[in-house]
Structure 1
């Protein structure tokens, strides 16, 4: 099966028109890489989306992750709409604001105090400012292949060119965009993920310079790489030992890996943490939370934190409704996410074996990664991808072909390999998805690979 241009005729026309006034025809550069090209969508319900041409998709993109409950859950939509009729923005306090902060403080282990914003990028910015103010140090340590927002002070070495990235154990700090300060001027140090020896040695020598370590507790922006056993625990101990602020960026893992996020699932308590739109099932809100020792600097006015749209009433109302559903029946939704996701992962494994296709499938039921190694890749037994450099063994061109073929068959997935599950996905979705995958494997992929 090969899709004809007629399948996407209206999206093609919309993109052509959009490019005349909208830079690139999109409002986020990430969307430029969508396959087969940036489609235009009309509506979503549950686990499904419909584009402007009327094509229906099982959606594993889920707004790039935040739609834990699927599209347009009625309770969240109703709470949002009800609040909009009471007021769009007050530029002042409202009672829903502290109701939500109390909920977050109760649920999240490190959340003594909370502040709300709009985007994850700005919450990261606030966390870095707090860490520098608290420690009197300037340098931030991040990990190669991790993403913490698009602002200039942290957008380094997300997907660096391996010919410029330096030694695997001592990566170069490389800007991701023209217009940023060079790596040498960035006050950012980059290290490999999942290597506690390198981290320990670096802190031993340079801890007096390091204000914070910022990390995804699971490396979701590159191949959904879990932490190796003991890695996060050792990182926590090193930060305590050297007076370095530990920041967990839970924009993706927050409320997805468990109700209390990755820090709850792994029982690791950071000093500061960041959550994004998942707290409100996709409504525009972010959360900066942490220990009173640090967040108190904001409360005292010593560290600036502001924003006209912070605690936007409709988004806060949506967040409370979302947490109501996530906490319902003892947070039973997480069993559903894990069961459905694991069923899909196992089904894909079975199909790769059936069609003699080498693949990497790793992660969790709620979010996992699928990739195809390049021919001749020497992958270790077990968890095949443990850091950014090992992710380079994946064949991105082949996966792009796979993504386009899946979209043509009504399954929408992210080109970089992440699959997001929602509570709205069910076994019928899994079976339909596996049927599409088998067709793509047999008709498209098998002829291009050898296990």
Structure 2
């Protein structure tokens, strides 16, 4: 039974008097139906302050691969909290975690720990520029690498300002950043090797790094087309450009060794966060010795009061323990639940005669509704930022608002995160709620458009 949102509404109004916008991250301001207040999570479920229960596919926006309040992670973290929170010095747990990451991750000869993915990206870009003596970084349109000034460009650019498809303009996402001309960031379309090849050929000796999400999780969970990442690796090697995989979302989610493990491609530097510690704040910059030794030797600055903070490191070790257990059974469980959901959603689309796009993987997938008049062939994927614009974001937002009221919490952007805690019952209940929400919100919208 749904209890309404009275307490959440009151809490948000109260928060706005002291918290800027009532939230601590601008992203949360866009939650549907509005920013809700939660008081506890367990396994695959969340409960809000009004007593409403939700099957949670937000999972902290990715970290909770083992579900909420995983016993092993909580126990390890609490045990360390009793022994000390921060030493501003070394401790043996950080060696243990570093050794684990180096064993598991293909490109990890050496690592450094921090707190947020954004700062780990910052470290990777600084390192690439220092190692090459070059300034320019290539990123891909529609990809997100944290909120810091030096890389927050062309995440969701206005298509009327974004320039040609194959030569996108570099557009700042926020006032207060340098404009595109001053940014030393070049934006290219994702999944199109010829444009990357051409740019690197024309600008030999100018490019420090190519940074990419190996799967474009922040826009429509777009998988790399066959050969795209392999070709990118070859081009970066040829031009002596540092290849950086931003695995903040894909790391320890797409496989134990992340996307680089799943696809068998070794970047030069990589960034982890989120799923590495199941909700504890920690990030990791890892890479091959050639580059990481510049940090090791103190030639490239890297610091932070909270780097390798003991409780978070303890939580990360416990998380990796759980992920490696029983021949990676956690991955099989999350994948199974996710693929059952994907199949079920596709089945609902057929049953209700709706044009639905579902793409990605069991552990993370995307759901979207094409805009009216967009002819998507059966099963045709979204392949880059520009094709993602064929999705009807307003209609999806309305669907999210409706399904939240039916006890299913999902991200307004279209991503669904799965955990090893999601059960067959969760999948069945979610599909039931999804069918009701589709009938309530989506079917009428398409019918109305057809009549118009």
Question: TM-score, length-normalised on structure 1?
Answer: 0.98
How many residue pairs were aligned?
Answer: 448
Q: Which runs of 5+ in 1 are unaligned?
A: none
CA separation in 1, counterparts of 2:251 and 2:349?
31
After TM superposition, give the deviation of residue 277 of structure 1 in Å.
Answer: 2.5
After TM superposition, give the deviation of residue 384 of structure 1 in Å.
Answer: 2.1
SS at match of 1:208: coil
CA separation in 2, counterparts of 1:378 and 1:183?
34
Aligned to 2:89: 92
- Return closer, same or farther for 1:207/1:332 CA change in 2, 3 Å cut-off: farther
After TM superposition, give the deviation of residue 441 of structure 1 in Å.
Answer: 1.5
CA separation in 2, counterparts of 1:134 and 1:383?
41
Is the CA contact 1:207–1:244 (under 8 Å) kept in the aligned structure 2? no
CA separation in 2, counterparts of 1:396 and 1:150?
22
CA separation in 1, counterparts of 2:157 and 2:226?
26
After TM superposition, give the deviation of residue 354 of structure 1 in Å.
Answer: 0.4
CA separation in 2, counterparts of 1:386 and 1:161?
18
After TM superposition, give the deviation of residue 335 of structure 1 in Å.
Answer: 1.3
Is the CA contact 2:42–2:69 (under 8 Å) kept in the aligned structure 1? yes
**Once the two structures are superposed, what CA deviation does each residue of 1:320-348 show, in whole Å capped at 9, x if it has no partner?**
00000000012121111111100000000
Aligned to 1:436: 433
After TM superposition, give the deviation of residue 440 of structure 1 in Å.
Answer: 1.1
Aligned to 1:108: 105
CA separation in 1, counterparts of 2:377 and 2:225?
14
**Mapping of 1:359-374 within 5 angstroms?**
359-374=356-371
Is the CA contact 1:362–1:383 (under 8 Å) kept in the aligned structure 2? no
CA separation in 1, counterparts of 2:5 and 2:103?
47
CA separation in 2, counterparts of 1:207 and 1:383?
36
The alignment yields a C-alpha RMSD, in angstroms, of: 1.1
Which of 282, 287, 300 is the equivalent residue of 1:285?
A: 282
CA separation in 2, counterparts of 1:76 and 1:184?
45
CA separation in 2, counterparts of 1:205 and 1:250?
28
Aligned to 1:202: 199
SS at match of 2:404: helix
Which of structure 1's runs of 4+ aligned residues deviate more than 4 A? none
After TM superposition, give the deviation of residue 274 of structure 1 in Å.
Answer: 0.1
Which of 406, 416, 419 is the equivalent residue of 1:419?
A: 416
SS at match of 2:203: helix
Aligned: 1:333 with 2:341: no
CA separation in 1, counterparts of 2:377 and 2:182?
37
- The more displaced of 366-375 and 433-442 is 433-442
CA separation in 2, counterparts of 1:36 and 1:176?
24
CA separation in 1, counterparts of 2:61 and 2:370?
23
Aligned: 1:297 with 2:322: no
Is the CA contact 1:110–1:272 (under 8 Å) kept in the aligned structure 2? yes
**Once the two structures are superposed, what CA deviation does each residue of 1:252-304 show, in whole Å capped at 9, x if it has no partner?**
00000000000000000000000002100010000000000000000000000
After TM superposition, give the deviation of residue 442 of structure 1 in Å.
Answer: 1.8
Aligned: 1:12 with 2:9: yes
CA separation in 1, counterparts of 2:241 and 2:66?
36
Which of 209, 228, 232 is the equivalent residue of 1:231?
A: 228
- Return closer, same or farther for 1:68/1:382 CA change in 2, 3 Å cut-off: same
Which of 263, 283, 298 is the equivalent residue of 2:260?
A: 263
**Once the two structures are superposed, what CA deviation does each residue of 1:50-107 show, in whole Å capped at 9, x if it has no partner?**
0000000000000000100000001100000000000010000000000000000000
SS at match of 1:58: strand
Is the CA contact 2:357–2:379 (under 8 Å) kept in the aligned structure 1? no
Aligned: 1:314 with 2:294: no
Which of 321, 341, 344 is the equivalent residue of 1:344?
A: 341
CA separation in 1, counterparts of 2:438 and 2:143?
30
Aligned to 1:409: 406
Is the CA contact 1:145–1:388 (under 8 Å) kept in the aligned structure 2? yes
Aligned to 2:186: 189
CA separation in 2, counterparts of 1:280 and 1:8?
31
Which of 100, 124, 130 is the equivalent residue of 1:133?
A: 130
- The more displaced of 333-342 and 305-314 is 333-342
Aligned: 1:170 with 2:196: no
**Once the two structures are superposed, what CA deviation does each residue of 1:205-250 show, in whole Å capped at 9, x if it has no partner?**
1131100000000000000000000000000000000000000000
After TM superposition, give the deviation of residue 381 of structure 1 in Å.
Answer: 4.9
SS at match of 2:39: strand
After TM superposition, give the deviation of residue 378 of structure 1 in Å.
Answer: 2.6
Aligned: 1:376 with 2:373: yes
Aligned: 1:240 with 2:234: no
After TM superposition, give the deviation of residue 439 of structure 1 in Å.
Answer: 0.9
CA separation in 2, counterparts of 1:133 and 1:381?
47
